[in-house]
DNA sequence: CCCCAGTCCTGCGGGC
DNA sequence: TGCCCGCAGGACTGGG
């Protein structure tokens, strides 16, 4: 579930680790199937212990610690991963720990209930490979309106499906795709090549507005309660959702339509049939 | 180019 | 009441 706003909230929550020296790397004991942590423990330690964290960045939906030895540690939370400096929600899903010195937080934790996420230590060259322009488009908060349009206006894909493609734009996931299309008044199944100039303009504006507001609220904690910030506190944006997971409810924008759910490339999409007309599909 | 189905994984909630 | 199954979807892969 963590998308751009949640991952950005994680990043901000752990900014206090900048300047820390890594003094220990531990894969925590866990009864569950182990998550992907690469490279193996000995190489991970050799290439990180004794180094300092020079910055904490977000790349799409990943949290990246840049080390002063040129390597980076990349946390990829996927569905249920959390990057924490406070106590985790529980012990049994705690997967990984960095022990730190020289800063207030003494440790950085990776917790993951479903374990689909990963922790990787990558060289500068590997970073370029993993996050090169063929793998990852411009960040959803940095892309210009013209570029968004030019990247997609020739595509026959549905706009909602295209927004989930990280090669087009990085950071948008299933939840915020529905929300920003609703805010822009665009039918999610509308083909990219049928969007008007006005559609692209409104989509760009809504993309920024929705993501910025969600960051202000520190992300969305859905009913399963999984998502937490770095201090293990829930986000608040779920109360602002207008369509996501609100099937059958009255649309809060127009007060007329009932939120509909459809499936696009095996994912749920929510929209308001009044605010998001199918015309021009 | 794009689509689709399958894979990973755990916990939950619906249905019987 | 208890158990089973389906579902949640981010990133990736292989086949069409």
The pLDDT tens digits for A247-278 are 999 999 999 999 999 999 989 999 999 999 88
Spacing of C-alpha A280 from chain mean position: 31
**Which residues, other chains included, contact A158 with Cβ-Cβ below 8 Å and sequence gap of 6+?**
A188, A189, A190, A191, A192, A264
Question: Closest CA to C10 C1' — which residue?
Answer: A78
Protein residues in reach of strand C (CB < 7 A): A 1, 3, 60-61, 76, 78-79, 114, 116, 130, 135, 164, 166, 173-175, 267-268
Query: Which nucleotides of strand B come closer than 7 angstroms to any CB of the protein?
Result: 1-6, 8-13
| pLDDT tens, per residue, chain A with 281 residues | 799 999 999 999 999 999 999 999 999 877 888 999 999 999 999 999 999 999 999 999 999 999 999 999 999 999 999 999 999 999 989 999 999 999 999 999 999 999 999 999 999 999 998 888 888 999 999 999 999 999 999 999 999 999 999 999 999 999 999 999 999 999 999 999 999 999 999 999 999 999 999 999 999 998 888 899 999 999 999 999 999 999 999 999 999 999 999 999 989 999 999 999 886 55
Q: Are strands A72-76 and A62-67 parallel, antiparallel or unpaired?
A: antiparallel
Backbone angles phi, psi at A55, to 5 degrees: -160, 160
Annotated catalytic, A3?
yes
As a rounded value in angstroms, the CA-to-C1' distance for A39 and B13 is: 38
**What is the structure's pLDDT at A223?**
84
- What order do you get walking across the sheet with A72-76 strand by strand? A36-38, A118-122, A72-76, A62-67, A53-59
**Which residues, other chains included, contact A35 with Cβ-Cβ below 8 Å and sequence gap of 6+?**
A95, A96, A112, A115, A116, A117, A118, A119
Question: Closest CA to B5 C1' — which residue?
Answer: A266
Backbone angles phi, psi at A261, to 5 degrees: -120, 130
CB A126 within 8 A of CB A44: no
Task: Note the pTM of the prediction, 2 decimals.
Answer: 0.96
Nearest nucleotide (C1') to the CA of residue A224? Answer: B12
How many angstroms separate the CA atoms of A87 and A57, rounded?
22
Q: Which own/partner contact pairs does A149-157 have at CB distance under 8 Å and 24+ positions apart?
A: A149/A195, A149/A197, A149/A200, A149/A204, A152/A192, A152/A195, A153/A192, A153/A193, A153/A195, A153/A200, A154/A192, A154/A193, A155/A191, A155/A192, A155/A193, A156/A191, A156/A192, A156/A193, A157/A191, A157/A192
How many angstroms separate the CA atoms of A203 and A266, rounded?
23
Protein residues in reach of strand B (CB < 7 A): A 32-33, 79, 92-93, 113-116, 154-158, 161, 223-224, 265-266
As a rounded value in angstroms, the CA-to-C1' distance for A246 and B15 is: 22
Question: Closest CA to B4 C1' — which residue?
Answer: A265
Annotated catalytic, A2?
yes
How many angstroms separate the CA atoms of A206 and A180, rounded?
5
């Amino acid at each position: 579930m963590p998308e751009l706003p949640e991952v950005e909230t994680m990043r901000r929550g752990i900014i206090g680790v900048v300047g820390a020296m890594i003094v220990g790397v531990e894969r925590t004991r866990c009864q569950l199937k182990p998550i992907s942590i690469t490279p193996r423990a000995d190489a991970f330690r050799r290439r990180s212990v004794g180094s300092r964290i020079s910055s904490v960045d977000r790349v799409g939906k990943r949290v990246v610690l840049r080390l002063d030895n040129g390597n980076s540690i990349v946390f990829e939370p996927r569905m249920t991963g959390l990057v924490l400096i406070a106590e985790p929600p529980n012990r049994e899903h705690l997967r990984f720990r960095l022990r730190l010195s020289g800063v207030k937080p003494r440790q950085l934790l990776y917790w993951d209930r479903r374990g689909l996420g990963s922790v990787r230590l990558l060289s500068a060259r590997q970073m370029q490979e993993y996050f090169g322009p063929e793998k990852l488009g411009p960040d959803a908060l940095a892309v210009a309106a013209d570029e968004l349009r030019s990247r997609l206006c020739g595509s026959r894909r549905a706009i909602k499906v295209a927004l989930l493609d990280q090669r087009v734009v990085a950071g948008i996931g299933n939840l915020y795709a529905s929300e920003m299309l609703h805010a822009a008044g665009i039918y999610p199944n509308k083909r990219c090549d049928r969007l008007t100039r006005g559609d692209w303009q409104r989509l760009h504006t809504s993309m920024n507005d929705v993501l910025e507001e969600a960051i202000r609220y520190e992300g969305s904690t859905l009913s399963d309660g999984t998502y937490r910030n770095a201090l293990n506190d829930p986000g608040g944006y779920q109360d602002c959702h207008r369509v996501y997971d609100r099937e059958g409810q009255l649309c809060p924008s127009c007060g007329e339509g009932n939120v509909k759910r459809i499936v696009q490339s095996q994912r749920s999409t929510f929209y308001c049939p009044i605010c998001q007309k199918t015309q021009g599909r």
